[in-house]
Amino acid sequence: MSSLLSSSIGKKLLMGLSGLFLMMFLLVHLAVNSLLLVPDGGDTFNAAAHFMATNPAIRIMEPLLGVGFLVHIVWGIVLTIQNRKARGNSRYASGNKTTGVTWASKNMLVLGLTILAFLVLHMAHFWVKMKVTGDPLLDHTIVSIAGVDTEVENAYRLVNATFSYLWIMIVYVVAGIGLALHLSHGFWSSLQSIGFSNELWRTRLNTVGQYYAWIVGLGFSLIALLQYFFYQG
């Protein structure tokens, strides 16, 4: 097993599997975020956030998600360093005029690091406040869950207040586009790396991957944008 994971294909397997896992997380995240757009003062979103924070399945997944991120980031950097070494020190003076190779596929590390930088900011905005330090904006509110009045943290107010700053909104929109580009190569690439592709499936996966990438990426951007323009005050 150790020789599998130290081989080039084994390392790519880890990149692919962790990538697929993170892509599933993004879908769940986007689904919950979309409730931010329900115009009921955030009650639906707060109920969903309460469910996510208390559900045992989600609580088990949380540390796993951290591991997923860590594996994907660390292996991504290790692989890129190895690849630069394999490429050698001399560059082509006449450049690279190969056509038909997507920009995103050649810049996955740059895009990944952009997402990582955003992730640090994003964690400071929400995760730290919700899980560690707390925040006066999170003061409890009562929402009716399945007819039962329940006291929950007012996560909506924190999100809403965060998106009232123009610079934060812009950072989130840009990060969403970066994420979309990363995923536009990552979706197909992860499945190719684990061996799930052939001539026919490549076209299918690429098409599905483009839809997935831009719906998820622009979805996050759009929510931040709408929150800034239409959900304040």
Residue 9 CB, shortest distance to another protein, in Å, is 5
Alpha-carbon distance of 42 to 32, in angstroms, equals: 12
Q: Are 108 and 186 in contact (CB under 8 A)?
A: yes
Q: Are 182 and 115 in contact (CB under 8 A)?
A: yes
Closer residue to another protein in complex, CB, 85/167: 85
Closer residue to another protein in complex, CB, 18/197: 197
Closer residue to another protein in complex, CB, 18/189: 189
Site for another protein, rule CB under 8 A? 1, 3-4, 7-13, 79, 82-83, 85-88, 90-102, 105-106, 108, 185, 188-189, 192-199, 202
Residue 99 CB, shortest distance to another protein, in Å, is 7
Residue 40 CB, shortest distance to another protein, in Å, is 44
Closer residue to another protein in complex, CB, 12/72: 12
Residue 179 CB, shortest distance to another protein, in Å, is 18
Sign of the dihedral through C-alpha 74, 79, 80, 82: positive
Q: Are 49 and 32 in contact (CB under 8 A)?
A: yes
Please list, in sequence order, all residues whose beta carbon lies within 8 angstroms of the beta carbon of residue 212, skipping any fewer than 6 positions away. Answer: 23, 183, 187
Q: Where are the beta strands (DSSP E) in 97-147?
A: 141-145
Closer residue to another protein in complex, CB, 13/36: 13
Adjacent-strand bridge partners of 141: 152
Residue 152 CB, shortest distance to another protein, in Å, is 44
